[in-house]
Structure 1
Amino acid sequence: MDGFSPAPSVTEVPETAERPTSMALVDLGARTVGIAVSHLREVMAMPARLEPLPSSVTGVAGCVVLRGQVIPVVDLAAMIGDSPALDGGKARIVVILCLQDQLFGICAAAANRIVPAQDIRPQPIRNAATGLRETLLATFALIGAEVIPILDVPALAGLGLPLSRDDRVTTSSFDRTDQFLLFEMAGISFALPIIEIEATVPETEIERKGMDSRYCDGTLRRLGREIAVVDAVRLAGLAPGNPRQGRSSAVVLRLEGERRIALRADRIYDITHIRQGDIAPLPRLVCTRPELFSGVVPREEGSAYFLLNHAALRADPALLALGATAMVSTADADLAGRAARAAALRSDLALLMRAGEDFALPATEVREILPMQAAHHPSGRLGHLGNVSHRKRLLPIFSLAELQGLPPTTFDHRAAVVVTRVDGDDIGLAVEALIAVEHVGSYGGKTGPSRNFVYRKMAADQGLLRLLRIEELPLGR
């Protein structure tokens, strides 16, 4: 870690420290830092010049205008004592961060990739020094063989930076906003909901391995698996193209069970929010497989984002067949054994979420996940927050924490509503945050106290989680 001064002392992170979330790795020029995906709003190109913004706070470089909104920008590299990102043209992008309903940006050289939570190992060290660098980069994580400092976004915002109120908080609560990952292939931009992505893979070798397909270029290796690499451009018929070989980045999607595919990417370049009202229908004559898209987002400069339909990709017979090639390599016997056990127990996949404490809900019980929104007309029943209109029906929303006898929780931008079914009716469970979708294991049999707890099979953190049993929710009170 070039440029880090040795800390005078080291203290352990309490065992109760928050579990990792997915991280975006951002290159500041002199170093790479990790930023929780929950704090990312989007990434924009660095303008030719920043607009002036008077401020006495060190590091404030100016502001940018994004879709009519003025957003302050700081040179984080300069703030932590590195060579300023704005010197020598190193800053090529502005990463827009969101803290609750406040926005600001940081200058950066590149947004490299997204790392899923299961690939992040928080390290039990903290900088004990009190300098600005140690305040902003107080914790670390091991990602692969690389030690990455994690940016404390609340600490950065708390330095007195000028902040801009997020215009999205004034939009209708029924105009759904989602986080999307943008990637480019053959000059065409694709978008996928972040929640549907298992991982992003930096540039790696693509092995042909005798794969015979109009749109499959070979396989790549990840976590002991050989995963088929698919060209979305040829798959959808957006352009004929030619099969490629060599190196490429990729976006890994889980299909059914243990099947996976990787969508090839020339570059993975942005995280953005797309409102449902911004999505236009895709003209059927644009490509040969329009059913693989949820729509298109036209851009002012004449380009567009093509929104891939993850449900259609999961159901495509050809992709399912290719996904079956994601076999576990025998070179990793331990991983192979764990994956085989996970595949044998299809029902052990669970949604992990936080609502006062951590819960695991069997994936088979999850109908969909919605963003948190204002609910109306609470009935006074235990945990009932009110109702929302959804899919032309009224959906009652309950606080999961209160249903479990825990103190009421505060819902912020990380909150979500998990839709499940009780006695034939859909209900929404409001949770503080979603943690992951992972395989879990039971500590005991089907009876006794241990039946109510599970552990994370594929994670380094195998602490206890409460197993949420929908049929036992106290909804009649």
Structure 2
Amino acid sequence: MVAPEDHGVPGIDDALAGEGAAVAPQAAAASAPEVIPADPASVTPDQDAAAAGLTDTTTPDDRPSRVQDTQAGAKSDAPMALIDLGAAKIAIDVTDLREVMPAPEKLQAFQSSAPGIVGCVALRGQVVPVADLGPLLGLPGRQPGDEPGVIVIIGNQSQAYGITARAALQIVQARDCAPQYITRDQTALVDRLLARLVLVDDEAIGVLDPHALPALGVPLSRSDRAQDPTREPTENFLLFETDGTRFCLPLSDIQATLPEASIDPSILRAGPSEGGIVHHGTERALLNLSRYLGMSTSGGGASRASAVLLERGEDRALALRADHVRDILSLTGGQIARMPSLLSNNPGVFRGVYTPTEGEETYILDGQALGCDPVLSSFGHLQHEVGEDPPEDNRSATVDLSERRTELALLVVAGVRCAIEVAVVEEIVSVSPRVAERWSNGMQYLGNITSRRGELIPTFSLAASLGHTAAAEAALPAIVVIRRNDEQIGLLVDEICALERMVVMSESKSDSGRILQPVKTEDNSLWEVVRADALPLYAM
């Protein structure tokens, strides 16, 4: 249940401040630091000396304008993203960012006489001009032999430009950024670009003015698309693969995922069913969707397989064969294209197809339409209980769970068994060697990863956050990306066990999570729900 390797470079997305919150570049005067005028009611000795001709008496029009930064020691209002330009670090207010994307091996040509322009990139159908800040700041620029690095996109959904960088390093919380009281020369190019200065861990870092480059003539990418200030609604899907075909089912339509089990081809084998599988004392027909929908000619023959249980309300669930459970995807309606009717003999059970920029097409299934398919439904009725009845002395101790509330949860191990609400899970990514090394050393904050949409995601060890020790040799560690307080964070877990509908045994009290139990289990195991907002997470 692990996604392909993450992009390998950190990135930052406007979701850090809520999509649409990024500031569109406007006129330079809108963001220029305030000029500090002399108080006419208070004449200093220096001014007296100037009047006496003992100091420089040039008029203000003859002298460069002097401006001052925010008072030293004051705290910034928003977090800062630290960007490595190669020869220096700069900071960018996260509200001025749109996202960060991996840089291509070679930028596309872009004809412009504006200073610093080195090319352009295509970002979701929008051409974005790209500038190299280095030479404008008196620093070396990007060289042909340098690693591609990243492109930092500044602006919002309608107006944007990009700058080249070696990497996006980290997000620094506002409380850890101390703006400095510095008198600056407003006419100097470097002071116009880096109009403010902050102190981060005793390191002085200039803050990029997002309006300075457009004021110098750097062109802006402008989109004519209708602007919606709110984030487009997303829906979470489980990505699984059957006979080489990638399918997605809405998480809301899934009852559970079943671990790999033996297939008995001597029973329930007919049409799309490859035989029977048994899980928790229940035998079900294992359905091969790829073959049934005419997308594979495989004749089956597998001896073992895992499965996804399709929820059907009052009717019995359907077991869909899943050779690999790959990931959880968070998709908007705009990312799902129309399903070509010639690709399946039953196109009515599809909502569409999702094709990532780099990757294979994924077919988005309609869970309700599948559940109502008459052929598939007939196999649901064949589900039956198997095995011996429990001993008489155990029957009286059995708790009736039929009246209790249930919910879908992602079951993981992070030092201990725990559960994560599926509603907050956005995706699952693999663990890079850099993150794995920090995790193996017992660190809580593991650095940052990049999501598929270019967001920079602070990542933490869930075991360490819960006060436990991670497994010394975890079989399949993975990073579960969840949304907490409208920001994404990554939680590294030792192992992902299952996606399963669980019975709520006890509701949450104060900071403790709900206690869940599988609907049917031999060991009556209990799983505590991790409350993301109660985790003590610090990026230090």
TM-score norm. by structure 2 comes to 0.36
Instruction: Indicate the structure whose relative CO is greater, using CA pairs within 8 Å and at least 6 residues apart.
Output: 2
- Asked which structure has the greater CA Rg, the reply is 2
